[in-house]
Amino acid sequence: MFIITDGTENILSDTARFLGGLEGVCGAGYLTGDREVIVTRAPGRLDLMGGIADYSGSLVLQWPISAAAHVAIQRRRDGLVRIISLGEDGGERQYEIRLDQFLAAGRPIEYEAARGIFRQNDRDHWAAYAAGSFPVLMRERGAAFPDGAEIVIRSAVPEGKGVSSSAAIEVSVMQGINVAYGLGIGARELALLCQKVENLVAGAPCGVMDQMTSACGRSGELLELLCQPGELKGNVRLPEGLSVWGIDSGIRHAV
């Protein structure tokens, strides 16, 4: 049985569903009942202003949406990272890597080498957005990982719709690692590190808008952000009587 231990009883309904599904994951050999499991949630986002120019440092207004990515992470007693991504359609993808593959002569490998690991097989590239947190934290934070990890991902953020499905996964995984290994990273820095995962390990060029909104946005408020240098300007509540809607154009978004 999985129990939230942060003292709150106000668990979001999608988080409750994710927790309920973890029982089946345990039965499949992921996660065990003898060690702490950290559960994180990070939302997608809708662009209300300026997002087309976030690459050049524009001022943007971003709306965190209700669809989110959830992650459960549990430290292992070895150096293996096992990831399972559970699809909303019932399908799943799995990936394994040893943490020592991100090291050479005891030092973190270069980003080009890390990127190459996830490009060896096209069907494994998705894992860069999750496992890519480890080489980034090794290089940028000098983080050492004495233990591996089991990582379970389930995301309801639609892929290819321009609502930050990749950022939601990056932020939820990075925050899980942050808590599980006691790294003490704040929300803004965490967003900047997640951008490095996407740019330097996954190899997708993007500004920091998506990761900042997923990590720092507040439900029911617009996040005001100056994309360069990633300056959080504050939060803006919508005037009463206004709602925000996103309409699917049917055109797939690609970076």
Cβ-contact 174, 55 below 8 angstroms: no
Is 34 noted as a catalytic residue in this protein? no
Cβ-contact 30, 86 below 8 angstroms: no
83: closest CA among 191, 155, 136?
155
- Radius of gyration for the chain, computed over Cα atoms and rounded to the nearest angstrom: 18
Q: Look-up: residue for tokens 């060029």?
A: 205
At a CB cut-off of 8 Å and minimum separation 6, what does 18 contact?
39, 41, 70, 72, 154
Say which amino acid occupies 137.
L
177: closest CA among 201, 151, 214?
151
CB-based burial label for 1 (10 Å; 0-12, 13-18, 19+): exposed
Structure tokens at 42: 């990070």
Ranges of beta strands (E only) in the chain are 38-49, 59-75, 80-86, 92-98, 103-104, 107-108, 149-155, 221-226, 231-237
Catalytic residue among 54, 147, 210, 248: 210
59-to-82, 165, 174 alpha-carbon distances in Å: 38, 21, 25
Residues catalogued as catalytic = 210
